[in-house]
Amino acid sequence: MKIRKVAIVGLFLESNRYAAVVERNRFRVLRGDAIVEDARSSSPKLLKEGQGFFAQMDIEGDWEAIPIALVLGGAGGPAEHDFIIHEIEKIGRELKAQTPLDGVYILNHGAMTTPEEEDPDGLLYETVRLAVGAGVPVVSTVDLHANISQRMVDSADVIISYLTDPHADQYDRGKEAAAILHEMFNGMCPTVSNIRIPIVPPNVSLLTANGPYGDLIDYGQSQLGAEILNVSIVAGFAYSDTSVNGLHVLVAARENELAAATLCKRIAEMAWSMRERFLWGLVPLENAVAKAVEVGHDDKSPPVLLADLGDNVGAGGPGNTLWLTKALHQAKATGVVIGSFFDPELVIAATSAGVGSSIQAKFNGDGWEGTESTYVVDNVLVQYLHPGEFYISTGPLSGMRVNAGPMCLLRFEGIQILVTSRRPIVWPDPELLETMGINVASIRTLVLKCRSNYRAVYNKYFDPEMMIEVDTPGRTSPVLSRHDWKRIPRPSYPLDLDFDWQP
């Protein structure tokens, strides 16, 4: 049997236009053999879809991985323009040097921007296609918060999006990419239909366990079969603010163009008819704080988890707004753990004071919209110092290594706060908290700067009804009408409520 040469390339950043530019030193770039080693490692730094892809390719038959580059940035603001353009051009040159190739796998978030280019993902796809030529299978996986451009659709054969939010199926989507690639090696020619629906849903409305988005995805999956190869319903990332933002339906059929087009239109009509279900209510800050005070006084009541939505690190939040911390402190809430707060200066101050000492802590927060950006608290106990590297112990990312830089756990009155120094973290692993002496099961209120990805990890400690989505101000507030958008096409629901549309 022929040994297939398949190149691996990746670009990963979710860009929030309100967050600071992500400079080159914040990207992690893996090249060559480091990609292969990591994809087959038991504690990878790489994305889970890469692991799934390698595992399935190994099952499908003899192949040679041609690892080019993975440029991984997580979530933040727009990427440093020159750096990304340089990386994309380099990927193009290296792919070209490896031709002829049998296929390419692109692992991609799909919501990157730079200050000068609103669609670097599309540029990557186009570069890949130009390098390898027409007729070479190109398959990609994207986050379901990707903004899909026509350039991406035209350059790839099949774009496969995650199906779950919180994201739990990256590994399976990587496997699916490998399986589709092999079908194409055996002669299958996919045909894709795609429609952009003018709905820019707030991210809080996108959980897939239930709700409108879950219903749409479930319907799409029920249509898979001999004719329909893949249905990807990609909600997009509103905060990127691009001219392609919107809910995007992609249907790939095996050969049958009409089947793809018919199903794509049907799903688009369905989505539009349920648009009102994407409107979403949040809990006002005062009510969330009152709830925290209440459960602090009553050990018998179930604990609460407050999701600080205005500073959602997973959507580019800086991880250091202070509204919720200040309000909880001033209301004298007890049994509170804030995990986490990003503040390199504060970690240095706590480290030089040492464990057991009492300091005056200056919290350096985000000065969003000209608000007060620091908060000074006296008599803060330095409870624990941690070097910063830890492994995720549970949930879909279990085994992954995280390095948030030196960290400290501080305590003042009823509040414990985990402070990181190298980067903000989306949620602290429960085992990490236990290491620092926090009994997770006895926390009364846990504050996370995260929208939903904590759920798979913290659902054994908190009832779903006690996971409260708090309406805090900030760069990642899901109340989209509060932001000043420049590029999102208008009208788009729910920014505009009164208009009609047909696919």
Q: Pick between residue 4 and residue 145 the one whose CB is nearest to Zn ion.
A: 145
Stretch in the footprint of Zn ion (CB under 5 A) among 139-147, 331-339, 390-398, 442-450: 139-147
- Nearest approach in angstroms of CB 108 to Zn ion is 12
Distance, in Å, from the CA atom of 109 to the CA atom of 6, rounded to the nearest integer, reads 20
Rg of the chain, C-alpha, whole Å: 23
Out of 143, 176, 366, 471, the residue judged to bind Zn ion by CB under 5 A = 143
User: Which residues have CB under 8 Å from 365's CB, separation 6+?
Assistant: 320, 321, 322, 343, 373, 374, 375
- Nearest approach in angstroms of CB 143 to Zn ion is 4
Stretch in the footprint of Zn ion (CB under 5 A) among 145-153, 329-337, 406-414, 458-466: 145-153
Hey, how many other C-beta atoms are within 10 angstroms of the C-beta on 214? 16
- E-strand ranges in 299-335 read 304-308
Locate 7 and state its tokens: 């190149």
- Nearest approach in angstroms of CB 400 to Zn ion is 16
Question: DSSP labels for 365-425?
Answer: ---GGG---EEEEEEEEEEEEE-SEEE--SSTTTT-EEE--SEEEEEETTEEEEEESSS--
Report the residue closest to Zn ion, judged by CB: 145
Q: Pick between residue 26 and residue 145 the one whose CB is nearest to Zn ion.
A: 145
Out of 4, 26, 48, 145, the residue judged to bind Zn ion by CB under 5 A = 145
- Nearest approach in angstroms of CB 167 to Zn ion is 6
Q: Pick between residue 145 and residue 329 the one whose CB is nearest to Zn ion.
A: 145
Phi, psi of 290 (to 5 degrees): -60, -40
User: Please, how many CA atoms are within 13 Å of residue 391, restricted to the half-sphere of its CB?
Assistant: 8
Q: Pick between residue 163 and residue 288 the one whose CB is nearest to Zn ion.
A: 163
Distance, in Å, from the CA atom of 277 to the CA atom of 201, rounded to the nearest integer, reads 10
- Nearest approach in angstroms of CB 111 to Zn ion is 8
Strand, helix or coil for residue 208: coil
Hey, how many other C-beta atoms are within 10 angstroms of the C-beta on 196? 21
- Nearest approach in angstroms of CB 222 to Zn ion is 23
Contact 328, 287 (CB under 8 A): no
Binding residues for Zn ion, rule CB under 5 A, total 2
Using CB under 5 A, which residues numbered 242 to 301 contact Zn ion? none
Q: Pick between residue 113 and residue 421 the one whose CB is nearest to Zn ion.
A: 113
Residues paired with residue 361 on neighbouring β-strands, in sequence order = 377
Stretch in the footprint of Zn ion (CB under 5 A) among 119-127, 136-144, 378-386, 398-406: 136-144
Residue 458: name the closest of 412, 399, 392 by CA.
392
Distance, in Å, from the CA atom of 493 to the CA atom of 212, rounded to the nearest integer, reads 14
Omega within 30 of 0 (cis) for the link into 166: yes
- Nearest approach in angstroms of CB 453 to Zn ion is 8
Q: Pick between residue 145 and residue 449 the one whose CB is nearest to Zn ion.
A: 145
Stretch in the footprint of Zn ion (CB under 5 A) among 48-56, 133-141, 143-151, 153-161: 143-151
Ramachandran quadrant class, 309 (left: phi over 0; alpha: psi -120 to 50; beta: rest) = alpha
Q: Pick between residue 143 and residue 471 the one whose CB is nearest to Zn ion.
A: 143
Contact 340, 325 (CB under 8 A): no
Pair type for strands 467-471 and 304-308: parallel
* x-or-dash string of contact with Zn ion, 307-346, rule CB under 5 A: ----------------------------------------
Q: Pick between residue 147 and residue 421 the one whose CB is nearest to Zn ion.
A: 147
Q: Pick between residue 75 and residue 447 the one whose CB is nearest to Zn ion.
A: 75
- Nearest approach in angstroms of CB 178 to Zn ion is 21
- Nearest approach in angstroms of CB 3 to Zn ion is 35
Locate 88 and state its tokens: 């994309």
Stretch in the footprint of Zn ion (CB under 5 A) among 77-85, 120-128, 138-146, 492-500: 138-146
* x-or-dash string of contact with Zn ion, 169-208, rule CB under 5 A: ----------------------------------------
* x-or-dash string of contact with Zn ion, 439-478, rule CB under 5 A: ----------------------------------------
Q: Pick between residue 68 and residue 450 the one whose CB is nearest to Zn ion.
A: 450
Distance, in Å, from the CA atom of 313 to the CA atom of 425, rounded to the nearest integer, reads 7
Hey, how many other C-beta atoms are within 10 angstroms of the C-beta on 258? 11
Stretch in the footprint of Zn ion (CB under 5 A) among 141-149, 250-258, 283-291, 337-345: 141-149
Residue 362: name the closest of 370, 372, 422, 354 by CA.
372
- Nearest approach in angstroms of CB 21 to Zn ion is 20
Q: Pick between residue 145 and residue 254 the one whose CB is nearest to Zn ion.
A: 145
Phi, psi of 107 (to 5 degrees): -100, 125
**DSSP label at residue 25:** G
- Nearest approach in angstroms of CB 114 to Zn ion is 19
Positions touching Zn ion (CB under 5 A) are 143, 145
